[in-house]
A = this chain, B = another copy of it.
């Protein structure tokens, strides 16, 4: 049986079994919400009011937490199910909770829709989930067709989880006026102030049916009965008994008694989501009229490529920009994105919607302290506060400013941003973006010790590396290199966009790199840092965590390593960190607490920062490999990172997103190595998109010009790329030819060098590029 298929025409990916990749899912979002819809019917949905909230809950009082990797499902996990009962069979769509065998199953993840086509008992079901624009509402459509030549009588029971909503007040009832199950609740609180704060909350979960059901139930326990969710009493009885929920766990269940003649089909539509009032439900029913897909899922295709690796192309063309857009538009469903994440997500937007990047840079800098320091999170709402990890001080946030700004300037040539005047978090004094950046760079330089090494405090890029320097002395090798690279990048911006006065960072960069080489180098590679007690760690003296990926990549980016030495280290990386599922962030994974390193060593071996294939770090590595001209190694790492159909059953996900990690600890936990975290929030995708555009395809902007400097893997014989840049369209055709060096033709005219200048917006440029064989 065919397990997977990719559409050649569009972004669709189809899975043909509900059991092979039980956690396979699609994710949809709009400006208000996100739903991660699992192929078997379980769902994780969140909306913003302004903090993330849920309208469909589990049966216990769940903790409010940030999005976690490897989310577990269980029988009563929030889901969207349709029980089907004929006189012969009983089963459920899409698969949960009955898990009955189906004649055929096809789950299709798209950008704007998640769909299933299922056949069973002579019936053909087409089930479609899409989101309504700019609202917290799921739109469900179910077509059921009798594919036999005889009449079929069936009952259809949509079952939408509502779950435990509130210990103060929760109930549900069917409202005839809107053919809706309305589950009311009051978000629990105890302090008077919260009463007023909670006024704006959408506390109603509703399931509205286009066609009024014959029967219904709002009472989870009475519907389920002794039969269990997999075989509920409600379905085993002839009719649902129209039970309310009165401070009992609610569920939204309806029953339709349907008679289908041969080849007849019927269609049902449902809306499910959160509202504040009954009046709103009536208004929302207009969405039954138009079931157009949500525009938010349609991101601009600013780059399409056609290579000899069509599955790779498919991911790059359709899913990668989708995921980049998701980050830029959703801010990862938080009101206080970590500054590092916010800036890198904005970096990705440079290539899709650069106004977002501009605004993000300005928003972030307007929260900079006048000292130059960046806060740990950027507050996106007046009521937002720093939460979770943003309450722990990290030292790297300034690093990402010039990196994002440089990418933005290269892509847009919008030098006006540099003189844009903005205040500080703690001062109304207005300074230009350039001056803000200068302050940030000075702050990074100030945050070094007497040796010139960057202090790590309670963490740098690696959040849980929180005890290297918590006593105030520990230093980070990565951060020292990153500081030098940030300065180098800012200098690049000065040289190309500020122009005058010329920067004066050469000395500082050289000093940082020299100090780092002096103190962090051990034997054959760089350590990760020096602890408060003066211990260099991340070296071959350590039995665990003996090699870290990031310091090596960034030492090259910063200029602390030359190409040849870096090339040698990449061989050691292959030896110590590489696995069939990608490069581990560190190895061997820690199995016990190292008190002068910190929380990272307590995470489960091979998970997240403790030695997983942490794709964000891999993306930095790939970027540095391309900078070093190691195109084949870079492509190999890139290709391994991008999920594919060949090893999908190991990774456990479809190739519709890059997860934040694949399990590592290939040596210690081989059985789980390669398993996807299923978490699609990751700074990885901005870098991968940049890498593909600027490095692999080699179409990088600079001062409004387009540099043609492709870094194709040596086995690629051709590459066709369409790229939108500076308002113009470029159709680039790379071919291997018997040439000595790259030759570029624009509209069939050979040009001098590899830079396309004086670009006219709206123009379409046909570019032929000959590459040496």
List A residues at the B interface (Cβ < 8 Å): 19, 58-65, 68-70, 72, 74-77, 99, 164, 167-171, 186, 189-192, 195, 221, 226, 228-230, 246-249, 388-389, 391-392, 458, 463-464, 466-467, 470, 598-599, 602-604, 606-607, 663, 669, 671-672
Contacts and interface: CB of A to CB of B under 8 A. Distances in A.
A72 B61 CA distance: 10
Contact of A391 (B69, B76, B190): B190
A246 B168 contact: no
Contact of A168 (B167, B189, B603): B603
B60 A169 contact: no
Contacts of A671: 246
Contact of A604 (B74, B247, B663): B247
Nearest to A64: B63
26 contacts: A19-B226, A59-B72, A59-B77, A61-B63, A61-B65, A63-B63, A65-B167, A68-B167, A69-B167, A70-B247, A72-B164, A75-B76, A168-B602, A168-B603, A169-B604, A170-B604, A186-B602, A190-B466, A191-B391, A192-B392, A192-B598, A230-B230, A246-B669, A246-B672, A247-B606, A247-B607
Q: Which of A64, A467, A602 has its CB near the most chain B CB atoms (within 10 A)?
A: A602
A463 B192 CA distance: 12
A59 B192 CA distance: 33
A341 to B, nearest CB: 16
Given A62-B63, A168-B599, A246 B190 contact: no
A77 B604 CA distance: 25
Nearest to A663: B247
Given A168-B604, A604-B169, A74 B72 contact: no
Q: Give 3 closest A-B pairs by Cβ, nearest first.
A: A59-B74, A247-B604, A75-B75
A61 B70 contact: no
Contacts of A65: 61, 167
Contacts of A76: 74-76
A168 B470 CA distance: 20
Nearest to A467: B192
A191 B75 CA distance: 34
A249 B72 contact: yes
Q: Which of A246, A392, A606 has its CB near the most chain B CB atoms (within 10 A)?
A: A246
Contact of A99 (B169, B226, B249): B226
A74 to B, nearest CB: 4
Nearest to A58: B60
Nearest to A166: B604
A392 B191 contact: yes
A75 B228 contact: yes
A458 B192 contact: yes
A69 B466 CA distance: 40
A74 B99 contact: no
Contact of A228 (B169, B230, B246, B602): B230
Nearest to A96: B228
A606 B663 CA distance: 50
Contact of A60 (B60, B229, B467): B60
A190 B228 CA distance: 38
A64 to B, nearest CB: 7
Contacts of A228: 75, 99, 230
Contacts of A672: 246-248
Nearest to A59: B74
A245 to B, nearest CB: 10
A170 B605 CA distance: 10
Contacts of A221: 72
Nearest to A249: B72
A540 B229 CA distance: 46
A22 to B, nearest CB: 9
A191 B99 CA distance: 42
B604 A171 contact: yes
A427 B554 CA distance: 58
Nearest to A65: B61
Nearest to A602: B186
A392 B192 CA distance: 8
A427 to B, nearest CB: 28
A599 B195 contact: yes
A229 B59 CA distance: 16
A463 B58 CA distance: 28
B604 A470 contact: no
A125 to B, nearest CB: 20
A384 to B, nearest CB: 18
A74 B75 CA distance: 9
A190 B392 contact: yes
A195 B465 CA distance: 13
Nearest to A388: B190
A597 to B, nearest CB: 12
A74 B228 CA distance: 9
Contacts of A171: 604
A159 to B, nearest CB: 14
Nearest to A57: B60
A41 to B, nearest CB: 14
A68 B74 contact: no
Contacts of A247: 70, 604, 606-607, 663, 672
A160 to B, nearest CB: 16
A488 to B, nearest CB: 32
A168 B599 CA distance: 9
Contacts of A388: 190
Nearest to A68: B167
Contacts of A59: 72, 74, 77
A684 to B, nearest CB: 20
Contacts of A226: 19, 99
A191 B389 CA distance: 8
Contacts of A229: 75
Contacts of A249: 72
Given A168-B602, A192-B466, A195-B467, 9 more contacts: A60-B77, A62-B63, A65-B167, A70-B247, A75-B76, A168-B603, A190-B389, A190-B599, A192-B392
Nearest to A671: B246
Nearest to A78: B60
A60 B226 CA distance: 23
A566 to B, nearest CB: 33
A263 to B, nearest CB: 33
A161 to B, nearest CB: 11
Nearest to A610: B169
A221 B186 CA distance: 34
A61 B60 CA distance: 9
Contacts of A167: 65, 68-69
Contacts of A189: 599
A59 B75 CA distance: 10
